Amino acid sequence: MKVLLVEDEAGLRQTVTESLRQAGYVVEVSANFAQAHEKITLYRYDCVLLDLTLPDGDGLDLLRALKAEQSPAGVLVLTARDGLDDRVRGLDLGADDYLVKPFHLSELNARVRAIIRRRQFQGQHHLVFRDLLVWPEQNEVLVRGEPLVLTRKEYDMLLYFLANPGRVLTKEAIAEHLSGDQVDAADSLDLIYTHLKNLRKKLQDKGANNYIRTLYGIGYKLSTSD
Amino acid sequence: MNLLTATTRYYLLLAAALFGLVSGLLCWGLQRALRHEADEQLRNEQVYVSRLAATGRGLPPTLLAYQLDRSWQPRPLGLRDTVLLDSLEYEWVPFRQLTFRVPAQAGSPPEWLTLRKSLVETRDLLRVVLGIMLAGLVLLLLGVVALNAWLARRLWQPFQHTLAQLRAYDLHQHQALALPRAPITEFAELNQALNQLSERLVADYESLRQFTENAAHEIQTPLAIIQAQLEQLLQTPALADDEAALTLVSELLHTTRRLSRLHQSLTLLSRLENRQFASSQAVPVQLEQVVRDRLAQLEPLLDARNLHLAVATSPALPPRLLHPGLADSLVQNLLQNAIRHNLPGGEIQVSLTSDMLEVSNTGPAVVGDPARFFERFRKHNAASDSPGLGLSIVQHICAYYGFRVAYEYRADPARHTLRVTFA
């Protein structure tokens, strides 16, 4: 899957690119408006990650250009403006989602994956991970063919892990993903602990052992192998 | 009391005092002059009568006895005031009299003569003069009052205009005052000074706004880079088996998040202080829904800390016109505060009515001035991760919308209540 990252900050561009490549995406980058505009007119992408403030133009104009061409690409806006800012609320222009800087890379992976899934497969997409088979559009999880019944939060958490296989996820990142908002570090474990414990237990009951590893004091990781 | 009333009052006081003084002087002066005149006339008459008596032919009889009173008994000599009864009008009338002795003549004993002049004209004259003066004073005073009333309407009109403009002035429209040149020098200078002041204000406000905006935007970018790179570092295989290094990186990541949150809170506070949320951004917000959403989000936290929650909302609450982000922040900070400063197994009560939102919670007793809880970086527990800005944000949002926020503490069992009263 092809992703275009439009970001003028070199440090962020490199790191995000690396993280996306690790997650299995083909990543192209643009550091400015002109370059990005050329790329979106020439090539097809599954998802465009768009920084709004570019040295030579407004990221929103790129968004308009994409919409004008009826591009199938999903758009995830990266912005330093928070939800209290009007511009973020003005994203009804057609962006699929937005992420406020600074963000968790694991959150970025999850959002990109969700956007591509929604945009391209129209429910025909499924996820396979070890013994798990997930139909995201039907909210259905099977372990070796047997259905796994999860609560909303447990399901969200599992999808978040599946979007970041093998990555170390901090408690804070998981808690913020589940609550959809910023979370104090002191509260993060309390916010996720019960859901995590139940998810693990349900997986184990179906024979899916050692899927979620604990890194004590740091966070969790979805193991790619036994 | 307005300025004109005040000045008019002083004018009137001065005019009345001066009138009193002048009237007194006039009375005294007139009386003195007239009496002097009467004395002179009496002395002239004395000379005439004395000469007449010296001829020895005797004094002619007078028509009016009181004008020349003759006596053979000794009387006190000299000029004196006296009063005589006017038998016609039956009232006492003031007189000036001069008594002198006519020496004995051949065939007649010495005689004492008293000459009198009526002073009643003097009194009448004084009355007329004072009456005219009083009338003049009343006219003058009425004139002053009327003139001032007219001036208030006409001359002060530019001032009233300036005042109205100042009252309606809103810095957030980024427009300097454009007060007109007034015809009166003082007002023209005032308008000019105000225009300059507002230009400076607009410039300062603009630079502050830009700074806040830049700070909000530009600082988040390096923070985003640090966070992303630390998160990538956490994934490197070399760290997988190095627990110490892993912990260190995760601590760094955690501190970066903290810094970012702190920065966002401070930015929010300064945007609130600079009133950078335009009223056009306000939408009808169902506070009840905001409270429910937030509570649903915090539910795992309540469960984990074994906190009992009681929510009471009045039915059919009308929506409030608020900035959705601020409404959310207000509710979130109040709830967060109630959870953070609670005891394990404690309680939280949330009540929402059409005119107030109240969050109360059990918690350890606190010492110190409740007013200081709203101060920035006020921490109950120094080791806490929270920057201690929550209540400060609550206070600023309330101030922004004109809500009142009050803290109340009740002991036994210790219960803290924060009440936001909508204006």
Residue B234 with chain A: CB contacts under 8 Å:
168, 170, 218
- Helix (H, G, I), strand (E, B), or coil: what is residue B135? helix
Average pLDDT, rounded, for chain B: 86
Of the residues A120, A145, A173, the one at which a domain ends: A120
Out of A16, A102, A215, the one facing B220 most closely (by C-beta) is A102
| The pLDDT value given to residue B375 | 78
- Asked whether residue B333 is domain-assigned, the answer is yes
Q: Are residues A7 and A111 in the same domain?
A: yes
Q: What CATH code is carried by the domain that includes residue A77?
A: 3.40.50.2300
Cα angle value B270/B274/B275 (rounded, 5°)? 115
3-state helix, strand, coil in chain B (%, to 5): 60, 15, 25
Q: Are residues A110 and A133 in the same domain?
A: no
Q: Are residues A147 and A188 in the same domain?
A: yes
Say which amino acid occupies B261. Answer: R
Least confident of A117-126, B144-153, B199-208, B338-347: A117-126
Q: Are residues B227 and B349 in the same domain?
A: no
Distance CA B174, CA A56 (A): 27
The count of structural domains within chain A is: 2
Share of chain B above pLDDT 90, in %: 26
Q: What CATH code is carried by the domain that includes residue A144?
A: 1.10.10.10
Largest CA distance in chain B: 164
Q: How many CB atoms sit inside 10 A of residue A10's CB? A: 11
- Asked whether residue B97 is domain-assigned, the answer is yes
Q: Are residues A138 and A67 in the same domain?
A: no
| The pLDDT value given to residue A18 | 94
Q: What CATH code is carried by the domain that includes residue B387?
A: 3.30.565.10
| The pLDDT value given to residue B7 | 82
Summarised one tens digit per residue, pLDDT across range B78-100 is 888 888 887 787 888 888 888 88
CA distances (Å), origin A196, targets A111, A134, A187, A191: 20, 18, 15, 10
- Helix (H, G, I), strand (E, B), or coil: what is residue A128? strand
| The pLDDT value given to residue B297 | 85
Q: Is the confidence at residue B158, as pLDDT, over 90? A: no
Q: Is the confidence at residue B363, as pLDDT, over 90? A: no
Out of A12, A86, A218, the one facing B228 most closely (by C-beta) is A12
Asked whether the beta carbons of residue B301 and residue A53 sit closer than 8 angstroms, the reply is no
- Asked whether residue B164 is domain-assigned, the answer is no
What does DSSP assign to residue B77?
Answer: -
| The pLDDT value given to residue B120 | 80
> How do beta strands B320-322 and B283-285 pair?
antiparallel
Asked whether the beta carbons of residue A102 and residue B325 sit closer than 8 angstroms, the reply is no
Nearest chain A alpha carbon to B293: A179
Would you state the torsion angle of the CA atoms of residues B333, A188, A170, B242, taken in this order, to the nearest 10 degrees? 120
- Asked whether residue B258 is domain-assigned, the answer is yes
| C-alpha dihedral sign at A200, A201, A205, A207 | positive
Residue A180 with chain B: CB contacts under 8 Å:
297
Distance CA B229, CA A19 (A): 10
Number of H helices, E strands in chain A: 8, 14
Asked whether the beta carbons of residue A167 and residue B221 sit closer than 8 angstroms, the reply is no
| The pLDDT value given to residue B385 | 64
Q: Which domain holds residue B194?
A: 186-273
Of the residues B235, B253, B273, the one at which a domain ends: B273
Q: Is the confidence at residue B373, as pLDDT, over 80? A: no
Kindly state the average pLDDT of the residues A187-210: 90
Q: Is the confidence at residue B64, as pLDDT, over 60? A: yes
Out of A80, A186, A215, the one facing B220 most closely (by C-beta) is A80
Answer for the pair A40, A68: CB distance below 8 angstroms, yes or no.
no
Structure-block tokens of residue B18: 């001066």
Interface test with A, best of B212, B233, B252, B257 (most A CBs within 10 A): B257
Q: Are residues A51 and A158 in the same domain?
A: no
Q: Are residues A116 and A131 in the same domain?
A: no
Q: Are residues B303 and B401 in the same domain?
A: yes
Of the residues A75, A103, A120, the one at which a domain ends: A120
| The pLDDT value given to residue B380 | 61
Q: Are residues A34 and A92 in the same domain?
A: yes
Structure-block tokens of residue B407: 């803290």
Structure-block tokens of residue B279: 């009223």
Answer for the pair B287, B320: CB distance below 8 angstroms, yes or no.
yes
| The pLDDT value given to residue A87 | 54
| C-alpha dihedral sign at B34, B39, B40, B46 | positive
Q: Which domain holds residue A185?
A: 127-222
Residue B250 with chain A: CB contacts under 8 Å:
170, 217-219
Q: How far is CA B147 from the centre of its chain?
A: 27
- Asked whether residue B171 is domain-assigned, the answer is no
Q: Are residues B266 and B297 in the same domain?
A: no
Query: From chain A, which residues contact B within 8 Å (Cβ)?
Result: 9, 11-12, 15-16, 18-19, 22, 53, 80-84, 86, 100-106, 153, 167-168, 170, 172, 179-182, 184-187, 190-195, 215, 217-219
* Least Cα separation, residue B385 to chain A (angstroms): 7
| The pLDDT value given to residue A83 | 59
Least confident of A18-32, B54-68, B149-163: B54-68
Asked whether the beta carbons of residue B224 and residue A103 sit closer than 8 angstroms, the reply is yes
Q: Are residues A115 and A148 in the same domain?
A: no
- Asked whether residue B306 is domain-assigned, the answer is yes
What's the predicted TM-score (pTM) here?
0.68
Distance CA B131, CA B136 (A): 9
Distance CA A132, CA B298 (A): 30
Structure-block tokens of residue B254: 């955690």
Q: How confident is the model at residue B19 (pLDDT cuts 50, 70, 90)?
A: confident
* Least Cα separation, residue A91 to chain B (angstroms): 15
Helix (H) or strand (E) holding B195: helix B185-235
Q: Are residues A162 and A70 in the same domain?
A: no
Share of chain B above pLDDT 70, in %: 97
- Helix (H, G, I), strand (E, B), or coil: what is residue B342? coil
Exposure of B13 by Cβ count < 10 A (0-12 exposed, 13-18 middle, 19+ buried)?
A: exposed
Strand partners, B357: B352, B420
Kindly state the average pLDDT of the residues B260-270: 87
Kindly state the average pLDDT of the residues B370-397: 76
Of A21, A87, A24, nearest to A50 by C-alpha is A87
* Least Cα separation, residue B229 to chain A (angstroms): 6
Distance CA B61, CA B408 (A): 108
Q: Which of residues 300-359 of B touch A (CB under 8 A)?
A: 300-301, 303-305, 323, 325-326, 329, 332, 336, 339-340
Distance CA A76, CA A95 (A): 6
- Which residue is listed with tokens 């005073």? B141
Of A111, A103, A142, A112, nearest to A126 by C-alpha is A142
Q: Are residues B142 and B32 in the same domain?
A: yes
| The pLDDT value given to residue A38 | 94
Kindly state the average pLDDT of the residues B50-62: 77
* Least Cα separation, residue B313 to chain A (angstroms): 24
Q: Are residues B286 and B256 in the same domain?
A: no
Q: What sections of chain A are H helices per DSSP? A: 10-22, 33-42, 59-68, 86-89, 105-120, 152-163, 171-179, 185-205
Q: Are residues A145 and A187 in the same domain?
A: yes
- Asked whether residue B177 is domain-assigned, the answer is no
Interface test with A, best of B209, B219, B220, B231 (most A CBs within 10 A): B231
B283 interfaces chain A, CB cutoff of 8 Å: no
Q: Are residues A29 and A131 in the same domain?
A: no
Answer for the pair B366, B410: CB distance below 8 angstroms, yes or no.
no
| The pLDDT value given to residue B79 | 87
Summarised one tens digit per residue, pLDDT across range A76-113 is 998 877 656 655 554 666 788 888 888 999 999 999 99
> How do beta strands A219-222 and A212-215 pair?
antiparallel
Q: Is the confidence at residue B381, as pLDDT, over 70? A: no
Out of A15, A180, A184, the one facing B225 most closely (by C-beta) is A15
Of the residues A120, A139, A167, the one at which a domain ends: A120
> Residue B325: what are its φ and ψ, rounded to 5°?
-65, -40
Helix (H) or strand (E) holding B8: helix B3-54
- Give the ipTM: 0.89
Residue A194 with chain B: CB contacts under 8 Å:
300, 303-304
Q: Are residues B414 and B329 in the same domain?
A: yes
Residue B231 with chain A: CB contacts under 8 Å:
15, 19, 104-106, 170
Residue A190 with chain B: CB contacts under 8 Å:
300-301, 304-305
Q: Are residues B214 and B304 in the same domain?
A: no
Q: Are residues A76 and A181 in the same domain?
A: no
Answer for the pair A115, A74: CB distance below 8 angstroms, yes or no.
yes
The count of structural domains within chain B is: 3
Q: Is the confidence at residue B368, as pLDDT, over 70? A: yes
Summarised one tens digit per residue, pLDDT across range B208-228 is 878 877 877 788 889 999 999
Asked whether the beta carbons of residue B235 and residue A22 sit closer than 8 angstroms, the reply is yes
| The pLDDT value given to residue A82 | 66
Q: Is the confidence at residue B379, as pLDDT, over 70? A: no
Q: What's the distance, Cα to Cα, between the start and end of chain A in Å?
A: 27
- Asked whether residue B166 is domain-assigned, the answer is no
Of the residues B273, B293, B320, the one at which a domain ends: B273
Nearest chain A alpha carbon to B327: A84
Three-state SS letters, B302-371: HHHCCCEEEEEECCCCCCEEECHHHHHHHHHHHHHHHHHCCCCCCEEEEEECCCEEEEEEECCCCCCCHH
Answer for the pair B365, B343: CB distance below 8 angstroms, yes or no.
no
Q: Are residues B148 and B9 in the same domain?
A: yes
